[in-house]
Amino acid sequence: MLLVALNPASALCQETSVESWASMDSDRRGALPNDPTPPESRSIPLVLAPLPQEEEGTIRRVETGGEKVVALTFDMCELATKTTGCDMDILSYLRQEGIPATLFMGGKWMRTHAARVRQIMREPIFEIGSHAWTHGNFGIMSEEAMREQIEWTQAEYARLRGEALRHAEEHGLPAPEITPVPTLFRLPYGRCNDRALAVLAGYGLKVIQWDVAAEMGQDNASPSVADAAVRLIKPGSIVLMHANLVPKGTAALARNLVQKLRGQGYRFVTAGRLLGMGTPVRVRDGYFTTPGDNLSLDTRFGYDGTGRRGAAGR
C-alpha cells in the first residue's frame, strides 16, 4: 500500500473525498463492502429527451473519414453479489498522459466506490457513462427490471454529483463542471433486444458498444495482446477494456495500446466527443466480435445477469 500524505483539510474529509490518484488498499478487488440496496430516491434530476428513431440501436464505431482518432473505454462493473476494484494504475496513467477516456460505471459500483467516483467526476479528462445498476442482462430481463437498472444508476450518479458539488462549496473550492446525468450507456455483456433498445432510447441514452474488445482473457500485459488489438483498430474505433481489476493485466495493455497507437499517429477522444466527429455505425445487436458470440453468457451469471440465483423473480 502506498502511504499518501494528506493535508489537514483533506484529512478531515477523508470520508467524502480522496485526492490522491495512487492506488490504495480500498481500491483492490473485493476490498469494499457490498451494498446492493437501491438508491433512496429514484428521481432523476435531468430527464433527457428521447432519442429520435434513427438514433436507436448500438454504436460500434464512428466513420470519421479517415481521421485517426480512437475512443478508449473502460467498464467499471460489478454484480449484485460482490464488489470489484478500481484500477488506479489505469486512471492515473491516463491522467498523467492527458488521454481522455470514457468510463462506463455500474450504478452499484458507483455506490460502493463513492469516494473514487466523486474524485473522477472532478477530473474533466474522464467522461462517465452508465453501465446499468448491477450488470443486468438486457437481452433477458423484464422491462421493469431494465428500468430499475437504468434509473437507479442515473439516480446514484446524481446523488454523488450533488455530494461532489457540496464538498467543493463547503471547502471554498471552485465548483467543478460535472455533467448532470450520463448520456451514454453500455450494455452489460453487450446483450440486448428490440425492447431494450427502445427502452434505452426512451431515456435518451445513446448505447455505446465497441468494435474492438482489446482484452483476451489471459495475460493482457503481453505486448502481443496490444498488437492484436492494434491490428483491428481503425479511425473512429471504440475500444473496450475494464478498469475494475477483473481482467488481468489491463493497465499494461492500456499503456502498450496507447504507445503503439500514438506511434501510428492516432489521438484519443472520449466516446461522446467521437460521436460528433463523423457518422456513428449502428447495429441492432450487441456482441463482442460477431453477432451471437455473447449468447452463452445468458445462463452464467444468475437468472438475469446480476449474479443473483434462486427463484427467477423476473
Give the binding site for Zn ion (CB under 5 A): 75, 77, 188
Radius of gyration of the chain measured on its C-alpha atoms: 19
Residue 75 or 151: the one with the smaller Cβ distance to Zn ion is 75
Residue 173, CA distances (Å) to 121, 126, 164, 170 in order: 14, 20, 11, 8
Q: How far is the CB of 64 from Zn ion (least distance, A)?
A: 26
Q: How far is the CB of 166 from Zn ion (least distance, A)?
A: 29
Q: How far is the CB of 127 from Zn ion (least distance, A)?
A: 17
Q: How far is the CB of 206 from Zn ion (least distance, A)?
A: 17
Q: Where are the beta strands (DSSP E) in the chain?
A: 58-63, 69-76, 101-105, 126-130, 184-185, 206-208, 212-213, 237-242, 267-268, 279-283
Residue 75 or 89: the one with the smaller Cβ distance to Zn ion is 75
Residue type, 169: E
d(CA 274, CA 219): 29
Residue 190 or 235: the one with the smaller Cβ distance to Zn ion is 190
Q: How far is the CB of 131 from Zn ion (least distance, A)?
A: 6
Q: How far is the CB of 26 from Zn ion (least distance, A)?
A: 21
Q: For residue 117, with 0-12 CB atoms within 10 Å meaning exposed, 13-18 middle and 19 or more buried, which class applies?
A: buried
Residue 56 or 75: the one with the smaller Cβ distance to Zn ion is 75
The residue whose grid cell reads 480512437 is 70
Cell of 38: 437501491
Residue 183, CA distances (Å) to 87, 124, 203, 302 in order: 23, 16, 9, 28
Residue 229, CA distances (Å) to 3, 39, 209, 248 in order: 35, 38, 16, 16
Residue 39 or 129: the one with the smaller Cβ distance to Zn ion is 129
Q: How far is the CB of 77 from Zn ion (least distance, A)?
A: 3
H or E segment and range at residue 261: helix 250-263
Residue 108 or 122: the one with the smaller Cβ distance to Zn ion is 108
Residue 27 or 75: the one with the smaller Cβ distance to Zn ion is 75
Closest residue to Zn ion, based on beta-carbon distance: 77
